[in-house]
Amino acid sequence: MTIPQEIELKLRVIDEQAAKRLWKRRTLGQYLLQAHATQQLHTIYFDTTTHTLARANASIRIRIVDQTTQFITIKTSQPAVGDVSVRHEYEYPLEATHWPSQILAQLSAFGVPAHELLPIVHTITKRQIRNIVDQHGQSIAELVLDHGTIYAAGQHESFCEIEIEARQTTTATQIAQLGQLVQQCVPSMHEQLSKLSRGLRLHANYPEAPDELHALHAHIAVLLGTQRSGDESLFVPLAHHDTPTNRLLCASATQLSREYTNQTNLDSEPFWVALDSSQRDYVAKLVTHVTLPDYHVDGAALNLHHLPFSEGLRYQLRYQLRRMLQREQEVLATFDANSIHRMRVTLRKIRALLDCADGVYDSEILNQFRRGFRRMARFHGVVRDCDAFSDTAQRIFGDVAIPDSIQKGILKTRQKALTELHELITSAKHHRFLETYATFVCTSNASAITTQTTVITALGDSITQRCHELQQPLPGSFERVAESELHALRIRGKRLRYILECFPSILIPATQPALTVLDTLQKHLGVLQDAVVANELLADMKLLTNPDAKKILSTLRQEASQQRQQMPLIWDACTNAEFNQSIIATIHAIQ
């Protein structure tokens, strides 16, 4: 239910016993008091690290009622009527991870992206409620007695107060009169500060006080409770205001979030990888006394649209690095074909994203990262080629085992490549590279040349450029064009595909028709490339004259010839009006 305007009077209780006596009564002057069920409230207030909303006399909160029902509320202050506060109030049930569009629109009016909000104050309250009913049986106001505690920045403050909140037709003057009746029964004084305002007084030293461990303990606990540690909704606002304290908060919340979900391995977390040993020791000290919260609310989903492209791209690079680090651990644990394949795909996505970074980040550091990931891709690629060739050979020979000469050649080549891969990913040089790269993707504005271009503008330009590159005319018909040209076409298709896939929250589903066509292109050109790779591997094994090898190559060449015959139709699907319309629709969808 939405109540556009809140008219409310707050009274700070001086005599709590008198308040308890009032709550046992059934009348207040000429009015009846109707009992209502007591509620347990947990309220979390959000703002930016610079308190943008508070400075605009606005607030946003999520309230958990009796540990189940959740409401999200935004309030904006209006001129008070005497001691009675008058505020616009918009309240909606919170039932999913996406905040209501009305709330997002209100925040937008203040220039605040919802994902930049952090929990800054929270309160625990026991609320006793009475309805104030007039002689006509109409409820004119709600009378509540709140006992609770305000928590902020590692400090807390208890409170006992009475609130009188108007129903829709009740005026501020009537509320003031009701307040006078209450004060005749309960010694109290007008409270000018809201619970949030009192919390902000406690919060004054955040965030530039890294030695105040209690403040950080409390903040990390609230971050966990608001699910700001399990996704980038935590990391983006903290990294955007990059300070030593915020860096440590990121790492600390990350560590605790893993413990929260029984995932204690931090080696796949970029924010952790970017820390040096002394910082990790500090984080270990920091999280020792943090109490994991027993509540859960959903923070706002990250909206990349209007971020600077340097930071939106950094977010995606950080996400892909997290996946790469997870894949690398899988590779080290098993070296099986599936883990190698997943790792190789992730590396391709990172490289595709780095291809979009020209003119966004410093070229020297970009080239350093490109060389590092190209080196990783090369070592993984040889192993993956052996695995793919083994699958192809088994398919060709059917139920018969792969001939020993072929099988031994595959195993020997794969083992040699695995040894080199293991040496690479366990080397000190590799770990230094990952630490450098993790620091880059975890540090706001690092090596950025420009922060003026937004994500949606840059994505539109990148998609247009990649599409233009893909659709360049081929030098001849598909029956005669060189294998190297077709392989280059496959790479161009992958670059476009990975850009479309790497920003799913923005580009999908608008781009789905184009992705389907690109997937078909990849599969058909992949068959052509399989024949090329098989020939190269068999040549390295010195088995080109082997009869079984000739059988494999002959089959693959026949399949490649069939694919070449089908390519004109597939190429038409990549260049026709329907495909181009899908690309145009994708660009329009993000603007």
Q: Is the pLDDT of residue 1 over 60?
A: no
- Give alpha helix (H) positions in 242-295: 244-260, 270-273, 277-287
Instruction: Residue 463: name the closest of 345, 577, 302, 579 by CA.
Output: 579
Query: pTM for the whole thing?
Result: 0.75
Span of 177-186, 241-250, 388-397, 560-569 with lowest mean pLDDT: 241-250
Please state the rounded mean pLDDT for residues 212-225. 55
> What does the CA dihedral 462, 466, 467, 472 come to, rounded to 10 degrees?
140
Give me the long-range contacts of 157-161 (CB less than 8 A, separation at least 24): 157/198, 157/199, 157/202, 159/12, 159/195, 159/198, 160/12, 160/13, 160/16, 160/19, 161/10, 161/11, 161/12, 161/13, 161/191
CATH class held by domain 454-591: mainly alpha
Q: Is the pLDDT of residue 287 over 70?
A: no
Share of the chain above pLDDT 70, in %: 82
Q: Is the pLDDT of residue 478 over 90?
A: no
Q: Is the pLDDT of residue 280 over 60?
A: yes
Please state the rounded mean pLDDT for residues 301-326. 83
240, 116 Cβ separation under 8 angstroms:
yes
Q: How many CB atoms lie within 10 A of CB 270?
A: 26
45, 59 Cβ separation under 8 angstroms:
yes
Give me the long-range contacts of 389-392 (CB less than 8 A, separation at least 24): 389/530, 389/533, 389/534, 389/537, 391/337, 392/530, 392/534, 392/552, 392/556
390, 541 Cβ separation under 8 angstroms:
no
Q: Using 50, 70 and 90 to split pLDDT, how confident is the model at 124?
A: very high
Q: How many CB atoms lie within 10 A of CB 56?
A: 15
Please state the rounded mean pLDDT for residues 391-417. 93
Predicted confidence (pLDDT) per residue in 328-377, tens digit: 999 999 999 999 999 999 999 999 999 888 889 999 999 999 999 999 99
Which amino acid appears at position 576 of this protein?
N
Q: Is the pLDDT of residue 140 over 90?
A: yes
DSSP assignment of 545-561: T-HHHHHHHHHHHHHHH
Separation CA 427–CA 227 (nearest Å):
35
Instruction: Residue 271: name the closest of 193, 325, 329 by CA.
Output: 325
Span of 234-248, 395-409, 418-432, 462-476 with lowest mean pLDDT: 234-248
Separation CA 429–CA 411 (nearest Å):
28
**Overall residue count recorded for the chain in this entry:** 591
- Give alpha helix (H) positions in 445-482: 455-470
Q: Is the pLDDT of residue 283 over 80?
A: no
Q: Using 50, 70 and 90 to split pLDDT, how confident is the model at 454?
A: confident
Strands of 82-177, DSSP E: 84-93, 118-133, 139-152, 155-166
Assigned CATH topology for domain 306-449: CHAD domain (1.40.20)
Separation CA 501–CA 51 (nearest Å):
35
Token pair of 203 as six digits: 């919060």
- List, by residue range, all CATH 1.40.20.10 domains of the chain: 306-449, 454-591
Separation CA 159–CA 266 (nearest Å):
40
Q: Is the pLDDT of residue 253 over 60?
A: no
Strand, helix or coil for residue 58: strand
- Pairwise pLDDT comparison (297 vs 241), residue with the higher score: 297
Give me the pLDDT at residue 213, please. 54
Give me the pLDDT at residue 162, please. 96
Span of 90-104, 386-400, 568-582 with lowest mean pLDDT: 90-104
Residue 47: phi, psi to the nearest 5?
Answer: -165, 175
Separation CA 73–CA 124 (nearest Å):
17
Assigned CATH topology for domain 5-202: Hypothetical Protein Pfu-838710-001 (2.40.320)
Q: Is the pLDDT of residue 470 over 90?
A: yes
Strand, helix or coil for residue 189: strand
CA atoms within 13 A on the CB side of 291: 7
Q: Using 50, 70 and 90 to split pLDDT, how confident is the model at 298?
A: low
- List, by residue range, all CATH 2.40.320.10 domains of the chain: 5-202
Q: Is the pLDDT of residue 281 over 70?
A: yes
Q: Is the pLDDT of residue 207 over 60?
A: no
Separation CA 428–CA 438 (nearest Å):
15
